[in-house]
Structure 1
Amino acid sequence: MVKFSSVALAVLVAGFSGGAFAQDKPTLTIYTYDGFASEWGPGVPLKDGFEATCNCTVNFVAADSSIGTLRKVQLEGDTTEADMILGLDTAIAGEARATGLFADHGLDLGHLALPTTWTDAQFVPFDYSHFAFMHDTNTMPVPPTSFEELIALDDDIKIAIQDPRSATPGLGLLVWIKAAYGDRAPEIWAGLKPHILTITREWSESYALFLEGEADMVLSYTTSPAYHIFDQDDHTIKAAMFTEGHFPQIEVAGILKSSDQQELARDFLAFLTSVEGQKAIPTTNWMFPVVDLGVDLDASFQGLPQPEKTLVLDEAEITANSAAWIDEMLAAVQ
């Protein structure tokens, strides 16, 4: 999820007869999106926690989006410095898999708690939420309960969404509508057109418009209200729950075949999906953890409404059709 450090290079000093020499620790280079690697994101506590046990250095390299990380590795190919990518999601995993750049992770993930059963051999999930539209109860006390109700509102009710070509939430909305309405998707997009204030490149731009009052609703996540509760004690920002169901975003990480730190990368993924690693996720990335944290899940997440129905689409169908669906959406809203 794209969300609301300085790193010192470490050396291991070993003593030998005749003098002491500095021996470089192995470095694990992880491409991720900027929000994850920021000083307020989960990258900092995950780096600190893993480095305390691995005798290594974790180096996060940030792109402007998770889609950007994939494009960067595609350009670099086998010459990439990345050992792994962290922050893709299930809507783009099929495209990433088709590149042939990713290795099997070889981990037992039977302990995970997700909306769907996880059997992927290459990608490891680390957080999840469902896509939803945020509203402010001060200005919209009764939100729409479906896409069709949203379409039926006065045209002066505006929404901010993200571009599916550059932002995973934008792609998630595309897949959500297709999963809910199938061949009726162009009709839904045409109905949404009068309500679309803007289509931003990234999530942060559209969310800022919502917080500034420029948009009445914004595409985000069912867990986004937790941030406002935790950080601001603000309970007025809520997710509108739709009767047709919601599509989940499950964020994943994958090891690159070209990496010379395969074992270290697997160790990081094991740490990432451990209880200790997962404790860093909720109040930094504002998503649900993929393991049951019990009482350690912050109170801001307790009681958040969740969809009665989780929508699904086959990965192969998304991969084969996403480009056509993007063209279909753009033709309807432009």
Structure 2
Amino acid sequence: MIFPCIAAPRRGGAIASIIISSLFLLCAGFLLASCGPKEPQALQVWTYDSFVSEWGPGSALSKLFEEKSGIKVSFVSKGDGGALLAALISAGKEAQADLVVGLDNNSLTKALGSGLFVPAELPNKDKIRADLLIDPSLKLVPYDFGDFAIIWDSESGVRAPKSLEDLTDPYYARRLIIMDPRSSTPGLGLLAWTQAVYGQEWKEYWRRLKPSVLTMTPGWDTGYGIFTKGEAPLVLSYSTSPAYHKAYEESERYKALVFPEGHAAQIEFAGILASSKRKKEAGKFLDFLISPEAQAILPETQWMYPANVETQLPESFSVVPKDIRTIPSTIADPDKDPETAAEILTTMAG
């Protein structure tokens, strides 16, 4: 930094010297202060809405990580999970983030194909369930998982459907809330689930399902909120959702329905961006995220199963069905099928 020269007056020498000395000390102090060590900027982590909500894990994780490492973390929500990936792809190498937390297995191929992530070195890698490590490069690292399910309000007076096909019965007209597969990972999960069960006939299934759908919300938060307000007796969510009501409401009113055809699973991932200038610190956070201490926070904030095999489940998970059969599922065409599914519902409205 360059300061303007200060010329000394030709008279009043003593006073002038004092003034000049004072100004010199002031300028020197300013220079020293500006050149001194600065507090490092917080790690920037892009994620989705519920992760940073008041009931989500974001606050507890950032506090614990700072206590353990001295590194601050700032979470930035980019909407629901589908919107998170869209924001990342749109920003590309210009993304103002060090890590991304909240991508899932249904968007894994697209995320890895972007070339925006770098491999991670993880001391805690061996504690992750082996079947969750579907990216051997460790560019995207699993931190939790769960099965998609239909949640039923047992006090609604509506009988519980027994299968995906049962949901298309006219009895369930406008009684189901789902999420948009273009912007929501649960919505994308429903698409993967129906493709796994119906194969190439999935479009016909969505057409049959349309009359049963009350609304298709942009994200899970909105949809589940409408459900708990009593506006519909059925909602797309996770088999673990009843654990929330058990823990915080001491209620077993909301049930996860087990369908004989099996259920699609969601695995959530986090990764370090290649554009990050703080990859070392980002790597520390990623390894922390899969550590026993951090994983213990997830079951009753994410309401998902932890990826770390050493993590004990809380008592609230006793209401989660144990007889769910997980089936392999993928999106046949990740670029076109979400749009097609949404169009089937919206163009047939009314």
Specify the TM-score bucket, using the shorter chain as the normaliser: 0.7 to 0.9
Q: How does 1:154-165 map to 2 (within 5 A)?
A: 154-156=171-173, 158-165=175-182
- Tell me the residue number matched to 2:217: 200
- Tell me the residue number matched to 1:4: none
- Tell me the residue number matched to 2:287: 270
C-alpha contact (below 8 Å) 1:162/1:203 kept by paired residues: yes
C-alpha contact (below 8 Å) 2:217/2:223 kept by paired residues: yes
- Aligned-partner Cα distance in 1 for 2:295–2:279: 21
What letter is aligned with 1:324?
A: K
- Aligned-partner Cα distance in 2 for 1:219–1:258: 36
Q: How does 1:17-36 map to 2 (within 5 A)?
A: 23-36=38-51
- Tell me the residue number matched to 1:85: 100
* TM superposition shift of 1:190: 1.7
C-alpha contact (below 8 Å) 1:70/1:85 kept by paired residues: no
- Aligned-partner Cα distance in 1 for 2:335–2:165: 24
* TM superposition shift of 1:303: 4.3
- Tell me the residue number matched to 1:38: 53
- Consecutive unaligned residues of structure 2, counting only runs of 5 or more, are 1-31
- Aligned-partner Cα distance in 1 for 2:49–2:340: 30
- Tell me the residue number matched to 2:334: 322
What letter is aligned with 1:329?
A: A
- Tell me the residue number matched to 1:300: 316
* TM superposition shift of 1:153: 5.0
- Aligned-partner Cα distance in 2 for 1:299–1:311: 26
Deviation by residue 1:262-315 (Cα, 9 ceiling, x = unmatched): 111111111100100101111111111112355x4211012410454212135x
- Aligned-partner Cα distance in 2 for 1:67–1:328: 15
- Tell me the residue number matched to 1:5: none
- Tell me the residue number matched to 2:112: 97
What letter is aligned with 2:149?
A: A
* TM superposition shift of 1:173: 0.4
Residue 126 of structure 2 aligns to a residue whose secondary structure is coil
Q: Describe the shift of the 1:181–1:114 C-alpha distance in structure 2 as closer, same or farther (beyond 3 A).
A: farther
Residue 130 of structure 1 aligns to a residue whose secondary structure is strand
Residue 106 of structure 1 aligns to a residue whose secondary structure is coil
- Tell me the residue number matched to 1:223: 240
Q: Residue 144 of structure 1 is aligned with which of 161, 178, 184?
A: 161
Q: How does 1:281-292 map to 2 (within 5 A)?
A: 281-292=298-309
Residue 305 of structure 2 aligns to a residue whose secondary structure is coil
* TM superposition shift of 1:187: 2.2
Deviation by residue 1:107-162 (Cα, 9 ceiling, x = unmatched): 36232237655443211111111111110111257522211122235143610101
- Tell me the residue number matched to 1:7: none
- The number of equivalent residue pairs is 312
**What is the TM-score of this pair, normalised by structure 2?**
0.83
Matched, 1:68 2:79: no
Structure with higher strand content: 1
- Aligned-partner Cα distance in 2 for 1:328–1:207: 23
C-alpha contact (below 8 Å) 2:176/2:212 kept by paired residues: yes
Residue 281 of structure 2 aligns to a residue whose secondary structure is helix
Q: Residue 128 of structure 2 is aligned with which of 112, 134, 150?
A: 112
* TM superposition shift of 1:324: 2.9
- Tell me the residue number matched to 1:8: none
Residue 67 of structure 1 aligns to a residue whose secondary structure is helix
- Aligned-partner Cα distance in 1 for 2:157–2:108: 36
C-alpha contact (below 8 Å) 2:61/2:294 kept by paired residues: yes
* TM superposition shift of 1:197: 0.7
Matched, 1:259 2:271: no
Deviation by residue 1:88-116 (Cα, 9 ceiling, x = unmatched): 11111111111111111233623223765
- Aligned-partner Cα distance in 1 for 2:77–2:63: 17
Q: Residue 189 of structure 1 is aligned with which of 199, 206, 210?
A: 206
- Consecutive unaligned residues of structure 1, counting only runs of 5 or more, are 1-17
Residue 110 of structure 1 aligns to a residue whose secondary structure is helix
Q: Residue 195 of structure 2 is aligned with which of 178, 181, 184?
A: 178
Bigger CA radius of gyration: 2
Deviation by residue 1:17-51 (Cα, 9 ceiling, x = unmatched): x9995531353110111221223311111111111
Q: Residue 66 of structure 2 is aligned with which of 48, 51, 68?
A: 51
Larger mean CA deviation between 167-176 and 106-115 belongs to: 106-115
Identity %, equivalent residues:
37
Larger mean CA deviation between 176-185 and 58-67 belongs to: 58-67
- Tell me the residue number matched to 1:127: 144
C-alpha contact (below 8 Å) 1:157/1:216 kept by paired residues: no
- Aligned-partner Cα distance in 2 for 1:83–1:26: 11
**What is the TM-score of this pair, normalised by structure 1?**
0.86
What letter is aligned with 2:126?
A: G
- Tell me the residue number matched to 2:18: none
C-alpha contact (below 8 Å) 1:114/1:290 kept by paired residues: no
- Aligned-partner Cα distance in 1 for 2:133–2:72: 33
Q: Describe the shift of the 1:293–1:328 C-alpha distance in structure 2 as closer, same or farther (beyond 3 A).
A: same
What letter is aligned with 2:299?
A: P
Larger mean CA deviation between 124-133 and 26-35 belongs to: 26-35
